[in-house]
Amino acid sequence: LPLSHDEVVYGKGSLLRKMPGDDWQKFANLRLLFGYMFGEPGKKLIFMGGEFGQWDEWYHEQGLAWDLLEHPAHQGVQQWVQDLNRLYREEPAMHQLDFSGEGFEWIDFRDADSSVIAFLRKPATGNDFIMIAANFTPAPRTDYRFGVPRAGCWRELLNSDSKTYGGSGYGNFGGMDAVPIPSHGHNYSLSLVLPPLGIVFLKSEAPAAGTIPPQAEPALGE
């Protein structure tokens, strides 16, 4: 998903301006787009001005509208992109195998009615998986179950609907424990809150030392 200057010149409009809905939905959609781009395998590209949600398309004879950063909504987009870049650098699952199918696993891509998808990013070694779930509608989803490959806590690393980024604050209270309920071909699952026009990143963490994870029934097929 490279978003080069070709997307924001010659009357095409800026990324933010292209988004449907009212202003709140436009900003939420832009954060969702950037989160989805960083979540997918492959190298990342955002053209100048997109990283803080410039309203006007790029024009080579004038500078960027830096004054927009006086407004919280634009500050939120800028902070979101900064945090996505940090996650991409710091988490091996986000970059080590971005050229290989071994670093990616679909969890769910079939729920067209709800416009929800989820997938895993995997590191070259170890089990520090990152689960990414996106809701492409303005309706929040609650108790949405996804299968996961590990027991233990799945910590919410990033949530595009956080109030820090200008969102409404729907989330998962920092994370949750996987339960032994099979789903999507895995023995364990999470029941998540998916924010409106939002995307969440969760990282698997091993159960605390000395604890035994609950035993699951064998996973059911798709």
Range of the structural domain that residue 197 is part of:
100-204
Helix (H, G, I), strand (E, B) or coil at 29: helix
Q: Hunting for tokens 């992109």 — which residue is that?
A: 81
Q: Residue 183 has what DSSP assignment?
A: B
| CA gap 193, 173 in Å, rounded | 10
Same domain membership, residue 185 and residue 105: yes
Does 174 lie in the same domain as 105?
Answer: yes
Looking at the structure of the chain, the number of domains it has is 2
- Tokens 């071909």 belong to 185
- Strand duo 188-194 + 141-148: pairing: antiparallel
d(CA 132, CA 156): 10
Residues 119 and 197 in one domain: yes
SS3 state at 88: helix
Convert the pLDDT of each residue in 72-122 to its tens digit.
Answer: 999 999 999 999 999 999 999 999 999 999 999 999 999 999 999 999 999
Average pLDDT, the chain: 89
* 220 lies in some domain: no
- Asked if the model's pLDDT at residue 217 lies above 50, the reply is no
CATH at residue 107: 2.60.40.1180
